[in-house]
Amino acid sequence: MKSLLSAAVTLAVVFSGTAAMAHGFSGNWPMTVTQSQRGNGAYCLTLNDSGSLGFPHSGSASVTGPGGKLPFGTFQLINHLIVVTIQQPGGSQNAGLVFVAVAGDGTGIGKGAYDQVYGGEAFDSGALAFGTKGGC
């Protein structure tokens, strides 16, 4: 009976730790783009860390910024790099915003790069800095 109780407690701890880890990046993150020709400004990135895209930290993303709200995107944490791709209206061509930065275990995101893509090519780029989770 003791070993059964011990096993149940161990499983509860493992599963609760896994659930907490899966939501590490969920929430909103302030971002600032600088050194860009067209994209400079303050943005608010919202992530839903569901682990749904093949990596433990991955899921849906949206961004609000100088151009308004862009609700459709995804993110993945790969080798301590967070990669966020946001769909953007591009007229007659495919377009999107890409944000890449160094990231830890869900508690912080560092500096990185911003790239705006039109028709499969870089259209604009700049330096990227993240603020504290929950800051926008």
Instruction: Walk along the chain (136 residues) and give the pLDDT tens digit of each residue.
Output: 443 333 333 333 333 334 434 469 999 999 999 999 999 999 999 999 999 999 999 999 999 998 899 999 999 999 999 999 999 998 888 999 999 999 987 678 999 999 999 999 999 999 999 999 999 9
CA atoms within 13 A on the CB side of 130: 27
What's the CATH fold of domain 24-130? Lipocalin (2.40.128)
Residue-level pLDDT at 19: 40
Closest CA to 47 of 63, 61, 58, 64: 61
Amino acid 22: pLDDT? 46
CA distance 117 to 134: 27
- Which pLDDT does position 3 carry in this prediction? 38
- Domain residue limits, the chain: 24-130
Helix (H) or strand (E) holding 68: strand 68-78
- Is residue 75 within 8 A of residue 59, CB to CB? The reply is yes
pTM: 0.81
Neighbours of 1 (CB within 10 A): 5
CA 26 to chain centroid: 8
